Structure 1
Amino acid sequence: MRASGVAEEVTEKTILLDDLATQVDEANNEEMRRASTEDSTAARSEEAGALVRDEAMKSQGNRSVLDLRKFMFARELEERKKDLEREVEERHRNFEERKMDRQREVNERQKDREVQMQQMQVMQSAMTTVLDALVKKF
């Protein structure tokens, strides 16, 4: 049942706008984190590439170059695996935090609705009392 009046419409709009703002902030934070991760991965790849090139220039045989490339490739794979594991853990933590935040918001909204219902009942009771008094008077 909806209560009539402007206050409820403003409250619903405010709630929707707050939800939207929260989602935009979360998306922006996620983009910044991804950009940071991509930058660090690119820097490590360049560093690894430079090391491979330097070692290849220093070494005389193809065998040592291939061994170095295998080593660098294995090292890069291990670093990427660790990065992915960290990213999965971070996403899981973020998910749990968002889940808890949303549950808190739901609980707060439920409490607000209960308070509004109580206030409406008090106002209705007061109006009924006033109307009964007026009817008895006339």
Structure 2
Amino acid sequence: MRDTGGEARASKVLDIMRTVMVPMLQRRSQQPETAAKVFDQILLPAFRAHLPDLLREIAMLYAVDASLADLQALDAFYRSPLGRKAIEIQDKATPQVMALGVEWGKQIIPDILKAKADALRQQGIKL
């Protein structure tokens, strides 16, 4: 998975987690100014230690729908010049796509929650 950029993309998940967890730690801490340091020095190494577990789970997702021949063909593609370029583009775009998704959600969630408030309340969800 390293050759296909999967490890680098999985590591970017940690960057995204940091953007969520540091503010959470700031809200819960008696010393909010130390939240980033706490995440980077205490939590991040523990998360990194568990990245192989995430990579195995991702590999299993591919294995469900792809044959060994399919996976070998994908591996060959990702080792080719075009495959390397695809990895570069995807790696560059991933943080931007994630940021777009977050902003999109922030824009539409209030209207959707307002429009679906009655249906949500009927399901026992408090708004």
So what's the TM-score if we normalise by structure 1?
0.28
Tell which has more relative contact order, 1 or 2 (C-alpha 8 A, sep 6+). 2
Larger Cα Rg: Structure 1 or Structure 2? 1
Q: Which has the higher helix share?
A: 1
So what's the TM-score if we normalise by structure 2?
0.30
